[in-house]
């Protein structure tokens, strides 16, 4: 695994909010090796968002802003909901 993916995988498991560690970390474990460069950039951008907002969007508690609602975000949300493995 290249350094970029290793760094992103580490950040996914060490976010600060345990619930988001589980959401992002599990998703990263399952997909990081197969993400394209564009998807990696999207995942890095998602990783920069505040945990409470991202968690609420992933769980469907509040509407997802258009700029966040990317194909990768929908893949993350589906994975979290158990809709895609």
4-53 confidence digits (pLDDT tens): 999 999 999 999 889 999 999 999 999 999 999 999 999 999 999 999 99
**8 A C-beta contact, residue 13 and residue 28:** yes
Query: What is the sign, positive or negative, of the torsion defined by CA atoms of 9, 14, 16, 20?
Result: positive
One DSSP character per residue, 6-44 reads HHHHHHHH-SSSHHHHHHHHHHHHHHGGG--HHHHHHHH
In the chain, pLDDT over 70 holds for what percent of residues? 98
Domains of the chain: 3-80 (1.10.150.250)
């Amino acid at each position: 695994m290249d350094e970029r993916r290793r760094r992103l995988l580490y950040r996914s498991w060490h976010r600060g909010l345990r619930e988001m560690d589980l959401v992002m970390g599990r998703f990263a474990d399952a997909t990081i090796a197969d993400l394209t460069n564009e998807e990696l950039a999207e995942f890095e951008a998602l990783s920069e968002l505040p945990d409470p907002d991202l968690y609420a969007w992933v769980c469907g508690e509040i509407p997802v802003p258009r700029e966040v609602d990317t194909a990768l975000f929908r893949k993350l949300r589906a994975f979290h909901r158990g809709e895609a493995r």
